[in-house]
Structure 1
Amino acid sequence: MAKPMSFVARAFAATTVLAALTSGTALAAAPPVPAAQQNVITNEAKIKAARLVGFAESEFSRLLVFTDRNFVYELWRRAADNEKAANVRQAALLAYQTNTPEALAQFVNTGIHQAHEQDLAAEAARQAERALRIKAAAVIGVTPTESMLLVDRKNFLFRLWEACPKEFTEVRDAALVAYRGSAEQEQEFLTTGIVAAKQAADERIAKEAKEKEEAEKERLRVIEARTKALTVINVPVTEALLGMPERSFVFEVYQAAPRLSWVAEAALEALNSEDPGALRHYVFTGIHQAHAKDLAEAAVKQDQANQRKILEMVTHAENTGVSPLLVTAGKEALAAGPAERAAFLARDRAPLLRQSFHATSPGLSGSPYLRHANGVAVISPISGPVDRLDATWMVVPGLADPDCYSIESVNFRGSYLRHRDFRISLAGNDNTELFAKDATFCARKGRTGADVSFESVNLPGRFLRHSDGGIYLADNSNRFPFDNPHLFAEDATWQVTLPWVS
């Protein structure tokens, strides 16, 4: 005896039959299948059908235990959630209602695939219609809303007419004709008519604008010329200035221009001229010619200032006996043109501040130089690349007095020679006032009468001196061993040389 249907299955059957009877849609009969397959639904066929409506592999084991009819019911339920699966849903309903082994097998084995192809074709048609509508709307710059894309074609035409910009009257008129016309007229409008109507609207708009074009171009030329003129005198551009009469505009420029400038003089000349084109010429051309004269005069003054500044640098370096590279480069710039002088002042002059210091006291062996080693200042002969770096210094404006100098290590930037308990060491700048003073030395004429000596800024009378290979802040008081008067002048005098490392 057949097992009775469950309550859920009976309820589903009743509602689906009622839906079929009231829907007004005839359910198409499934196409015939080979007799050998009429009653057989393999698990493979079920899995293919399940995949078709979106079941995941993890759900297959659950589906395969259902009876054929309940399996079809599960397919219908899944298809019912997909608005793009109307044919699959209808075919599943028909198979379920028919409820014969042949109908169920035919649906699972072939019918669901045929219905799916029909759904794909229907979806392709919907997408083609959607694309046609989007393309037609784009012609007039309209992005259709989703509701516009879902309504029937006549309603779409009406909404397109509503969204069409008012200036495209040809498009709006053509849309109304299509709306009131046949399906063929609707199709023609969406495919080619809207393009032709938009082109006609564009041509009309262009023709109407042509009469205003030259006047607008002239207005823009004047605005551009006035904007450039205001830029010359650094006056903010305002609508009031751009729109005022020509004479008033030139007078405003005259008022804002620097007194005794060529720009102001040319403006006054234009205002007093009886030539009707003088004001326009000044705005478009004259102000820029006058500005070029002002710039040329300013360039001469700037170059004179640059020469004075370079000369001050060179003179200071020569007088103090330091920075021979700076002296040479500065003199070359002074002998060159304005561009070279400006470039000299603009570039990084740190490489020009590099130099080395040769100790020349009698009796020294190996031609020693001032260098740092293990954090202290010493003199020693120079033999290798490390020695050359350690014996190269940057003589920079003094940390405590810019008229004096601080001596910075080239290979330990930010570290300077400083005195502490009269010993000279290499130390990082801690940005304290004491460090700045301890690391600042004033260049003096060499104690021997030649070359250079370095006097402490905060212990006047004491100079950088080498003694027994070390460097000290010393005088000739004989207070400490390094204050020995013997050869004091020679030991506290340094010969400035080109840097070991440039």
Structure 2
Amino acid sequence: MGKRPGLSGRVLVIVAATAVVTGLATPPVSADIAPAVPSVRALAEAPADPAVPPATRVPETTPEEKVEVVRSLGLDIDRGWLVLRDHDFVFKIFDTADPVRFPLVKEGALQAFRDGDPASTLFIRSGATELAGRDRDNYVRGQLERDQARRLKQRAAALVAMPVTDQQLDLGYRDFIYELWHFVTGYPKVKAAALAAYGASEAEQKVFLANGLLAAKRQDQTDAINADRDRDEAEKARLTARGARQNAATVVGLQTTDSMLDLADDFFIRKILDKATPGAQIAIAAQAALNSAVAADWKAFLATGIYAARDRDVVIENEKKAAENRRVAREIKARAENGGMRPRLVAAAAAALAGSDHDVEVFLQTGRYAVPTQSLEATTLGVRGAYVASNGGSTYIIRGEPGNQSTAKLTGATWTIKDGLADPNCFSLESTQFEGSYLRADGDIVKLAANDGGTPFKNDATWCSSPGKSGSGVSLESYSHRGHFLRHWGGQVYAAVSTDSGTYNASWLFNEDTTWSVADPDPEVTTPITLRWKNDDALRAKLGAPTKPEVYDAVGGGVRYRDYTGGRMYWSAATGAHAVTGPALEKYQSIGEYRWHLPITDTTPTPNVEGSFTHVQDGGSIYWSPATGAHLIYGAIRDRYAQLGWERSYLGFPATDETQAGNLRRSTFQHGIIDHDPATGQTRDYRN
């Protein structure tokens, strides 16, 4: 097995990392032996490739691409448009797109036109058709709500005999109520209620149109009837009944005449039944009323029953809409899970489905489009913490240079995951740094290149996902080079095939190198602490997940530390990264931690007996056992303790920190004492 070109030390890294896993599973035979630490080699930053044009140079679109945009908007093809410059074509789209059916397209076209030529080209090449698809989906999902809103406004207008146009029915609730308020005469309570609703919330405005307007009109009708003292009770009852019939007729849009309003209640209900939608709750309630021979049941239907049935119809409509929305959201979630490239979309869909119907609606309308980006992290042991990135041209895996910052973002390592340019069942990875540029298999070399709209580019920039070859994550197969998978080798990224060659097509570690973890976007620079945590499985299991961001302190030439659920990891250039855990960490922090000395080993279990030790710079150690607690030992006393065999000697574990005993320095142990005389330099041990 040969070493890779350009990746010297890779074999040793993996062997060392394996040793760590083994070493933590089996205690060392002597506390003198520090636990193994994987020396993971740092990768070089991705260099610029001067032989490749800048990724931002996007060529103008073809007539075929313009035709696709026109068709996505349902417009007739005007051949004169196809010869326009992209900038002018986008203005035509803005000027022509239906603002009701394609509001996102219209807004996007205006913004692209304002942003200039490159933005216009990108809008035509991908933005217009994507937004048109969103607009179509939103329009279909919103049709029920729009229809309900229009019916609500129509019924409200009919209650006060207000003629309405389509434009008025499409007004917002506030503006429609203003129109209604302006029209109404002779209904003082309706006018007052409309004025109050005008200044209320949208939810309250809907309640006003559905119920408040009717209640106000009924009161106005009652007031008007009772105001005429010349009418007898029979006449008042007749007028009240006519008013109830007239109000009920508006629920189904029934046009009434004076003669109809004087019909008996049961005959009038038959007119409503003829107008009602068969099978609807209004029709069912009307038929139930007619099946009764009790006149009071007819009157109750016209007074209240028809409105309760209308409300049930609305509830049923909303339940059907909510069920369909949940079905679509589940499909989106399942497709994202199967593809493996959009874990953020999976999480967003799961959160919406666990919430209310409104949460699902918001997810479908906007939420699913708010999580398009991910990053790709290498999973090979020793190379974890490196992410696919490119600044144009060739593509690399990089970790970045942390410098003296506690956190920093990697440049060029975030990708917009899009449906495949050549196959929507696969994926294309668009750079968020260079919009319109994608990861492309240029032969076996993977490069970041601008989309020229051609079929060869679309094929080369499409990658089909499958479960990761090493048992986790995903693997990405080139659509145009079947059998070739996205692979890192020597820090560079290729479209590789497994062979026995010694190049990037080598079979050695092929499964590991072609398996990627789809991570959150905007990954941070991988610091030495994160690097060890990611590449040392046993240590990661012991420490758990990070609980706080990493901290950088310039003291002593630069120190880093980070908290985890199971302890804290420290790093300096001189000592490397080491974890201090349990009672040893409490003791270490109580004596000044890294401002005193940095650890040179992890907190490590002692062999044969329960306990741990942590070695620090300049001959210091922290020993712990359940019986003695954690204590510091250093200097000449520590040297004698080591000569005797540490905790395996007759002394056992330290029971105290070092103290002053007359002219001597003393450490007391479970079964003895070590004294050191600074004046003579003599150190001796003896039993208690």
Q: If the TM-score is normalised by the length of the shorter chain, which range does it land in?
A: 0.3 to 0.5
Q: Which has the higher contact order (CA 8 A, sep 6+)?
A: 2
Larger Rg: 1
Q: TM-score, normalised by structure 2?
A: 0.36
More helix, by proportion: 1
